[in-house]
Amino acid sequence: MGSAQNLEKKKKAVDALADIFNCSGVYLFDYRGLKVSEMGALRSRIKALGANVRVVKNRLAIKYFEKGKQAVGRELFKGPLAMAYSDEKFVETAKVLVEFEKESKKIKIISGFIEKRLVSDRQVAEVAKLPGKEQLLAQLVYSIGMPLRRFGAALSSPMTHMLVLMKNLQDKKAKEGGQR
C-alpha cells in the first residue's frame, strides 16, 4: 500500500513538472557550491520578478520527458540541478541568472527551454542581453508617438510661419506709419 501511494505521489510530481516546462522560459543551472544563504539571495532576486526557483529531481524530470516522448533527458539531467522559470518575465529571469553566475561564480547555467525549445547556455546568455518587457513597451510607445509629434509639428509649422510673417508685417507698417 505504501509503494502505491509513493508511486502516485511521484506521478503527481511528474505531472507538476508540466506546469513548469510549459512556462515561456525555464533555465537549468548547477548550484553546487552555493551556500544556503546564497541560494536564498538568488531565490529572492528571482521571486522579486514574479518568477520561481525550484530544485528538480533528475529522475522525475527524465520521466517527464520520456512520458512526452521528447528526446531530451538523461544527458541533460546529471548532477544537482535547479530550475528558474517564468512565464511573463523570462528575459528578466535570464538576466538575473546570468548576472548571478558572473557575480558568484558558484552556479553554472547548463541550458534552458525558451518557448518549449531546448537552448544552450550561450543562447540563455543571448536572451539575457535582450531588453525587458517594460523597455520594449517604452520603445514601442516612443516609436509610435514620435512620428505623430513630427506630423503635428509639420501641420502647425505653416500656421506658425504665417503668424510670424503677419507680426513682422504689422511691425513694419507701424514703423512706416510712425516715420510719416
Q: Does the model's pTM come out above 0.85? A: no
- Say what the pLDDT of residue 27 is: 92
Cα 81 to Cα 58: distance, rounded to the nearest angstrom: 8
Hunting for cell 502505491 — which residue is that? 4
pLDDT at 47: 92
Split the chain (180 residues) into runs of 10 and give each run's mean pLDDT.
76 81 87 87 89 86 78 76 87 88 85 86 83 76 79 75 84 78
pLDDT for 179: 66
Query: What is the predicted pLDDT for the residue at 76?
Result: 79
pLDDT of residue 180: 55
Burial class (CB in 10 A: 0-12, 13-18, 19+), 51: buried
